[in-house]
A and B are shown apart, each in its own frame.
Chain A
Amino acid sequence: MSDTQTYQHGGQDGEAGFGDYVLLLKPRVMSLVVFTAMVGLLVAPVHMNPFIAFTSILFIALGAGASGALNMWWDADIDAKMRRTKGRPVPAGRVAAGEALGVGLALSGLSVVMLGLAANMLAAALLAFTIFFYAVVYSMWLKRSTPQNIVIGGAAGAFPPMIGWVAATGHVGLASVLMFGLIFMWTPPHFWSLALFMKDDYSNAGVPMLTVTHGRKATRTHILIYTILLAPVAIGAAFTSIGGPIYLATSVVLNAGFLRGAWAIWRRDEVQAEADNYAVEKKVFRFSLMYLFLHFGALLAEAALRPYGLGGW
């Protein structure tokens, strides 16, 4: 009875369901981490025990989820001000901020130790650095202080395929650096195109996104520049040990499409964008998701076909 009274009196505080704790781990981001880490691990030119491979990917994903929980603990104040994030468990009052911190710290330790035991210490160290980079360098430091937050913070999202590769091989190779570079260079145009049509969110929260600090025209120019810089990194991976004709063809087509979209964004102004409710920006944002998925899908296809003499050069 007293439980019920507490619950009714205090809203949903302290009585979250299991799903709320899962939401703390940002499952949509985790799905991308699982996919890219899995590709990084599977394209590595070594055999790995399937169970160890599965657990390695699981703990990389868990580490990413832990950093997401730490991010939600730290950013609860600004999450509450943004439409996109105000329904998250902490700002919505379903999970206490301290609980998010506890979950984040516990899962960080667990995932790093278990990855070290399952795979190797270098992979565990990289995972620990990724969690630190996302929670401390990006969330606590860069996000609220510089419009380059997305550029530098993008490194945190770029590490999973490299960790997957290191879990399999035990060392950092050129191919894993290029997979890192692909996500790192992809992140700014992806998020800036989102920032263009979620226009009030970041300014309301006081987050210095490029759209807020340098204006929307400058953001459009930055999207074009980063998309141009992204193309050689993405296509360059075709000529490494993990690339091949399938990846090369996929990458050329996708980069042409992304460049076309970035060009279209650059040519527009706010009046045109408002007139069609940011249709081009939304289309480029959706295309950028497909862009990354298909690049890593092509790498996976090369690796899958290699035993039959079809993948690779």
Chain B
Amino acid sequence: MSFQPDHDLHKRRLGRNLGLGLSLIAFVVIVFGITIVKVSDQPRPWAKKAQPATSVSSGASATVSGPAAGTKP
């Protein structure tokens, strides 16, 4: 038993399905990429709390306390 070669119709259909599939994958990647960029560009409200708060310890030297810059409280 031997397989018959694909008709041109089936080749076209395969090409169309592959093209559509790749386009959808590309679309998902683009939406994901835009989301990452937009989220990264958003101002981070907790950054305000990262202002270096100085506290005077004994003596003249100042030490920094509070959360490190960019970290969640």
Residues of chain A having any CB pair with chain B under 8 Å: 3-4, 7, 15-19, 21-22, 49, 51-52, 55, 58, 114, 117-118
Number of A-B contacts (CB under 8 A): 41
| Closest Cβ neighbor of B40 among chain A residues | A49
In the complex the two chains form, what is the Cα distance from A114 to B34 in whole Å?
Answer: 9
**B69 on the A face (CB < 8 A):** no
- Say which size band chain B's interface belongs to: 10 to 19
| Closest Cβ neighbor of B12 among chain A residues | A17
* Closest Cβ–Cβ distance, residue B55 to chain A (whole Å): 38
In the complex the two chains form, what is the Cα distance from A118 to B9 in whole Å?
Answer: 38
Please determine whether A16 and B12 come into contact, CB atoms closer than 8 angstroms.
Answer: yes
20 A–B contacts from the bound complex (CB under 8 Å)? A3-B9, A3-B10, A15-B12, A17-B11, A17-B12, A17-B15, A18-B15, A18-B16, A18-B20, A19-B15, A21-B16, A21-B19, A22-B19, A49-B37, A55-B33, A55-B34, A58-B30, A114-B31, A114-B34, A117-B34
In the complex the two chains form, what is the Cα distance from A19 to B14 in whole Å?
Answer: 12
Please determine whether A16 and B16 come into contact, CB atoms closer than 8 angstroms.
Answer: yes
In the complex the two chains form, what is the Cα distance from A22 to B33 in whole Å?
Answer: 24
Which chain A residues border B10 with CB–CB below 8 Å?
A: 3
| Closest Cβ neighbor of A117 among chain B residues | B34
**B48 on the A face (CB < 8 A):** no
In the complex the two chains form, what is the Cα distance from A19 to B12 in whole Å?
Answer: 9
The 10 closest A-B pairs by CB, nearest first: A18-B19, A17-B12, A7-B9, A18-B16, A18-B15, A17-B15, A4-B7, A118-B34, A49-B37, A51-B33
The SS class assigned to the B binding surface is: helix
* Closest Cβ–Cβ distance, residue A49 to chain B (whole Å): 5
Please determine whether A18 and B18 come into contact, CB atoms closer than 8 angstroms.
Answer: yes
Please determine whether B16 and A17 come into contact, CB atoms closer than 8 angstroms.
Answer: yes
Contact of B9 among A15, A21, A51, A114 (CB under 8 A): A15
Please determine whether A15 and B13 come into contact, CB atoms closer than 8 angstroms.
Answer: yes
* Closest Cβ–Cβ distance, residue A72 to chain B (whole Å): 18
Which chain A residues border B12 with CB–CB below 8 Å?
A: 15-17
In the complex the two chains form, what is the Cα distance from A17 to B14 in whole Å?
Answer: 8
Which chain B residues border A58 with CB–CB below 8 Å?
A: 30
* Closest Cβ–Cβ distance, residue B36 to chain A (whole Å): 8
Which chain B residues border A52 with CB–CB below 8 Å?
A: 34, 37
Which chain A residues border B33 with CB–CB below 8 Å?
A: 51, 55
Which chain B residues border A118 with CB–CB below 8 Å?
A: 34
* Closest Cβ–Cβ distance, residue A69 to chain B (whole Å): 14
Which chain A residues border B18 with CB–CB below 8 Å?
A: 18
In the complex the two chains form, what is the Cα distance from A155 to B10 in whole Å?
Answer: 42
Contact of A7 among B7, B19, B20 (CB under 8 A): B7
Q: A49 and B20 in contact (CB under 8 A), knowing A17-B15, A55-B33?
A: no
- Write the B5-45 contact mask toward A (1 if CB under 8 angstroms, else 0): 00101111101101110000000001101100110010000
In the complex the two chains form, what is the Cα distance from A114 to B69 in whole Å?
Answer: 33
| Closest Cβ neighbor of B36 among chain A residues | A51
In the complex the two chains form, what is the Cα distance from A117 to B37 in whole Å?
Answer: 11
Which chain B residues border A19 with CB–CB below 8 Å?
A: 15
Which chain A residues border B34 with CB–CB below 8 Å?
A: 51-52, 55, 114, 117-118
Given contact pairs A17-B12, A58-B30, a sample of 13 additional A-B residue pairs in the complex whose CB atoms are under 8 Å apart = A3-B9, A3-B10, A15-B12, A16-B12, A18-B15, A18-B19, A22-B19, A49-B37, A49-B41, A51-B33, A51-B34, A52-B37, A117-B38
In the complex the two chains form, what is the Cα distance from A4 to B6 in whole Å?
Answer: 10
